[in-house]
């Protein structure tokens, strides 16, 4: 110890210049010298340690073990570091333990053996190691893949990959280290993101890209990769940290949401979302904007009440109340919707409630039902029209049946007289056998012929009427000689003349041909002449006049007969109507009715003038084809 005391100044000077703690012990394990750093480290004053046993610098729990080491150390007596690979601890004066590293250097001086221990307080270093361990553990615990690449080596090899990286990619760490990250892209390296990332690496800046990456088993996954450079003190990029975030699920979810959003927007139905409290629209789809003519921005200032003229705020809130208190899941109704331009259209509305972040919303899906309404209205009209047609057909059928019944009773009545006349005359003709009785025979034969004509006339009327009723009557136009027709009609009418009656008819029609329906013209003239004969007394004159003009022909039949009572005149063309002054004369009341119908169907008209006891004049006008 004296040796060191003697030379303490020299030792001090030398040992303080060394930046490690130096403690020298003798064979008895007594401290003979300690430099400034050692005193500082253990918390002792200058020289305080000298003479103290080394043990005071060793924590109680390690003292025994230390003693054993010392023994073996002295046996080997070599220069070495203590406790390699193990943690050593020192004890400060204040009893605080701290980690240290010790290097032992034995030496001999003046026959004594000493050991110089170089002591380093590794508290800070341990802290750093601890920290690094913690960081590594944290990196390994991270859910994102983390890699560190060395930017100073060619092709930037991976020098660190955490556990999550292995989990995400399926590549074990040993297969990852030393490789460039591009192996994750396989052949699929022509990607926008890849280019962007290499660009960022080149420029030494950070970036975030989405890449198509492939796991070891070949499965594709979308990887959101963020890279950031690590710079050294001079600003040079030494490493890149890469963070891998597999986002396949998120992308799929985003795609799904995107798809749903486009369905919402592209739907041709109108879809509205509005706040249940303020009723203001929050969102409306494209269809709603198109149908109403409002833009989204305009809609956001409106409520459903602006579009639904049939509701007041009170009635609307009452309508949606069951949705809001949960008593109903859905409300459907029909109403009208008003466009921006004020026009309206019928709609079917479906309402549902929905919650978005504690805010209650109403979703309205609205269908334009104009077409459906139009279709229903059209259908209703068609049904109405058909019903009318059926009613008319039924009516006609009924009338026809009535007509037949009436005709049967008419026939039985009307046919009786002419038939009995024909029978009587036929019987009498047989009795006039003598040659000079020809005049009498002719008289009876004329009665028979007249009777047959009368019956034929009734039948003609009836058949014509029935055909017309059934709509089967087809008018047949032809060119025919007017004089031939008039002669035939007058000839037949002459058969019915009473004694002294005379029909005068025009002679100016000899070479006239007209284009008309000959049968109808015949039916019309026959009826009117027969009536004139029937309703005029004996010895009276009947006039038939014909006026031919450019586009029409006018017939006039004038008699000096019983005339038609004023009060009956308006019913004269009604079917079966007969005036009260003719009830003792035979007739059916259908002649004038069918004549008027046919004449009008041909585009002509019929009228009359009549005074009771003086006579009647019937005028018929028929159009002519040029
Ligand atoms: P009817 O078989 O009874 O003659 P019409 O239809 O030909 O049937 O005539 C209808 C009614 O019109 C007759 O019943 C009669 O009362 C009246 N009438 C028609 N023509 C004459 C006429 N020339 N003079 C008087 N009355 C007529």
**Which tens digit of pLDDT belongs to each residue from 544-584?**
999 999 899 999 999 999 999 999 999 999 988 999 999 88
Which of 139-148, 338-347, 411-420, 442-451 is predicted with the least confidence, judged by mean pLDDT? 411-420
| Pocket test residue of 410, 526, 564 for ligand 1, highest count of atoms within 8 A of CB | 564
Give CA–CA dist 450/491, Å, rounded. Answer: 11
Return the residue whose CA atom lies nearest to atom 8 of ligand 1: 589
Q: How confident is residue 31, by pLDDT bands cut at 50, 70 and 90? A: very high
Our answer on whether the CB atom of 595 is closer than 6 Å to any ligand 1 atom is no
Sheet of 281-284: strands edge to edge? 281-284, 270-275, 359-368, 344-356, 330-338
Q: How confident is residue 268, by pLDDT bands cut at 50, 70 and 90? A: confident
DSSP tag of 158: E
Give the residue carrying structure tokens 């002591």: 119
Assess if CATH 3.30.450.20 describes domain 2-121: yes
Residue 24 has pLDDT above 50, yes or no: yes
**Within this chain, domains 253-411 and 475-623 share the same CATH topology:** no
Per-residue pLDDT, averaged over 175-199, amounts to 91
Give CA–CA dist 497/393, Å, rounded. Answer: 41
What the block records as the tokens of 2 is 């004296």
Residue 85 has pLDDT above 60, yes or no: no
- Distance in Å, CA 474 to ligand 1 centroid: 26
Burial 358-392 (b: 16+ CB within 10 A, else e): eeebbbbbbbbeeeeeeeeeeeeeeeeeeeeeeee
* Ligand 1 atom showing the smallest separation from residue 587 Cα: 2
- At 231-244, the pLDDT tens digits run 888 888 999 999 99
Residue 474 has pLDDT above 60, yes or no: yes
- Distance in Å, CA 495 to ligand 1 centroid: 19
- Distance in Å, CA 589 to ligand 1 centroid: 7
Return the residue whose CA atom lies nearest to atom 2 of ligand 1: 587
Using alpha carbons, select from 1, 93, 80 the residue that is nearest to residue 38. 93
Residue 1 has pLDDT above 50, yes or no: no
For the question of whether the overall pTM of this predicted structure is more than 0.75, the answer is no
pLDDT of residue 240: 92
* Ligand 1 atom showing the smallest separation from residue 532 Cα: 23
pLDDT of residue 471: 59
Using alpha carbons, select from 555, 565, 499, 562 the residue that is nearest to residue 527. 555
Using alpha carbons, select from 201, 228, 223, 227 the residue that is nearest to residue 213. 223
Our answer on whether the CB atom of 532 is closer than 6 Å to any ligand 1 atom is yes
Which of 91-95, 432-436, 606-610 is predicted with the least confidence, judged by mean pLDDT? 432-436
Q: Is the separation of the CB atoms in 122 and 100 below 8 Å?
A: yes
Our answer on whether the CB atom of 572 is closer than 6 Å to any ligand 1 atom is yes
The CATH homologous superfamily of the domain defined by 127-246: PAS domain (3.30.450.20)
Our answer on whether the CB atom of 526 is closer than 6 Å to any ligand 1 atom is no
Q: Is the separation of the CB atoms in 336 and 345 below 8 Å?
A: yes
Our answer on whether the CB atom of 562 is closer than 6 Å to any ligand 1 atom is yes
Our answer on whether the CB atom of 617 is closer than 6 Å to any ligand 1 atom is no
Domain ranges of the chain: 2-121, 127-246, 253-411, 475-623
Q: Is the separation of the CB atoms in 203 and 232 below 8 Å?
A: no
Q: How confident is residue 112, by pLDDT bands cut at 50, 70 and 90? A: confident
Question: Under CATH, which architecture does the 475-623 domain have?
Answer: 2-Layer Sandwich (3.30)
What the block records as the tokens of 512 is 């006239």
What the block records as the tokens of 603 is 């585009």
Sheet of 552-558: strands edge to edge? 502-504, 541-548, 552-558, 615-623, 605-611
Return the residue whose CA atom lies nearest to atom 20 of ligand 1: 531
- Distance in Å, CA 592 to ligand 1 centroid: 7
Residue 82 has pLDDT above 70, yes or no: no
Our answer on whether the CB atom of 563 is closer than 6 Å to any ligand 1 atom is yes
Give CA–CA dist 237/299, Å, rounded. Answer: 54
Q: Is the separation of the CB atoms in 62 and 89 below 8 Å?
A: yes
Q: How confident is residue 604, by pLDDT bands cut at 50, 70 and 90? A: very high
Our answer on whether the CB atom of 337 is closer than 6 Å to any ligand 1 atom is no
Q: What percent of the chain has pLDDT over 70?
A: 95
DSSP calls for 173-238: HHHHTTS-GGGGGTT----HHHHHHHHHHHHT--EEEEEEEE-TT--EEEEEEEEEEEE-TTS-EE
What the block records as the tokens of 242 is 């890469």
Our answer on whether the CB atom of 591 is closer than 6 Å to any ligand 1 atom is yes
Residue 81 vs residue 416, higher pLDDT: 416
Give CA–CA dist 246/105, Å, rounded. Answer: 57
Domain 253-411 falls in which CATH fold?
Beta-Lactamase (3.30.450)
Our answer on whether the CB atom of 39 is closer than 6 Å to any ligand 1 atom is no
């Amino acid at each position: 110890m004296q040796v060191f005391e003697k030379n303490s100044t020299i030792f001090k000077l030398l040992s303080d210049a060394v930046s490690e703690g130096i403690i020298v012990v003798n064979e008895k394990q007594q401290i003979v010298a300690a430099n400034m750093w050692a005193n500082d480290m253990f918390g002792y004053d200058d020289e305080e340690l000298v003479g103290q046993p080394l043990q005071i610098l060793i924590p109680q729990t390690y003292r025994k073990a230390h003693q054993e080491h010392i023994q073996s150390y002295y046996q080997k007596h070599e220069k070495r570091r203590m406790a390699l690979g193990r943690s050593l601890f020192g004890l400060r004066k204040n009893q605080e333990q701290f980690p240290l590293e010790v290097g032992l250097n034995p030496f001999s001086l003046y026959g004594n053996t000493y050991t110089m221990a170089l002591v380093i307080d590794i508290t800070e270093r341990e802290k750093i190691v601890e920290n690094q361990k913690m960081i590594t553990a944290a990196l390994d615990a991270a859910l994102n893949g983390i890699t560190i690449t060395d930017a100073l080596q060619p092709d930037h090899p991976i020098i660190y990959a955490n556990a999550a990286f292995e989990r995400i990619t399926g590549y074990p760490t040993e297969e990852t280290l030393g490789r460039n990250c591009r192996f994750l892209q396989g052949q699929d390296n022509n990607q926008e993101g890849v280019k962007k990332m290499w660009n960022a690496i080149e420029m030494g800046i950070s970036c975030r890209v989405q890449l198509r990456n492939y796991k070891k088993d070949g499965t594709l996954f979308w990887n959101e990769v963020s890279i950031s450079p690590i710079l050294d003190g001079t600003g040079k990029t030494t490493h890149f940290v890469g963070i891998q975030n597999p986002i396949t699920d998120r992308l799929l979810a985003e795609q799904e949401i995107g798809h749903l959003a486009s369905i919402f927007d592209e739907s041709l139905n109108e879809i509205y979302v509005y706040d249940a409290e303020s009723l203001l629209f929050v969102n409306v789809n494209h269809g709603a904007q198109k149908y109403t003519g409002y833009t989204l921005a305009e809609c956001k200032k409106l409520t459903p009440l602006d579009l639904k003229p049939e509701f007041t705020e009170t009635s609307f809130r009452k309508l949606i109340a069951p949705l809001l208190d949960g008593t109903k899941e859905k409300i459907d109704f029909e109403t009208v919707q008003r466009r921006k331009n004020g026009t309206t259209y019928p709609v079917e509305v479906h309402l549902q409630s929905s919650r978005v972040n504690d805010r209650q919303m109403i979703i309205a899906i609205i269908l334009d039902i104009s077409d459906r309404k139009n279709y229903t209205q059209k259908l209703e009209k068609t049904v109405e029209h058909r019903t009318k047609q059926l009613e008319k057909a039924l009516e006609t059928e009924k009338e026809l049946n009535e007509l037949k019944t009436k005709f049967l009773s008419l026939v039985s009545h009307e046919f009786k007289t002419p038939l009995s006349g024909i029978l009587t005359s036929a019987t009498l003709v047989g009795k006039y056998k003598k040659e000079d009785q020809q005049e009498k025979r002719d008289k009876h034969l004329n009665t028979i012929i007249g009777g047959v004509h009368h019956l034929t006339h009734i039948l003609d009327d009836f058949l014509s009427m029935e055909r017309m009723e059934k709509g089967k009557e087809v008018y047949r136009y032809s060119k025919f000689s007017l004089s031939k027709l008039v002669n035939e009609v007058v000839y037949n009418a002459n058969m019915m003349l009473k004694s002294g009656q005379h029909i005068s008819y025009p002679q100016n029609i000899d070479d006239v041909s007209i284009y008309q329906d000959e049968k109808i013209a015949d039916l019309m003239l026959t009826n009117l002449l027969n009536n004139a004969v029937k309703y005029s007394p004996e010895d009276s004159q009947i006039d038939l006049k014909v006026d031919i003009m450019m586009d029409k022909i006018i017939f006039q039949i004038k008699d000096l007969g019983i005339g038609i009572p004023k009060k009956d005149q308006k019913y004269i063309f009604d079917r079966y109507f007969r005036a009260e002054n003719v009830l003792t004369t035979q007739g059916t009341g259908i002649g004038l009715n069918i004549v008027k119908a046919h004449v009008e169907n041909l585009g002509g008209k019929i009228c009359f003038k009549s005074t009771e006891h003086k006579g009647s004049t019937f005028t018929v006008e028929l159009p002519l084809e040029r």
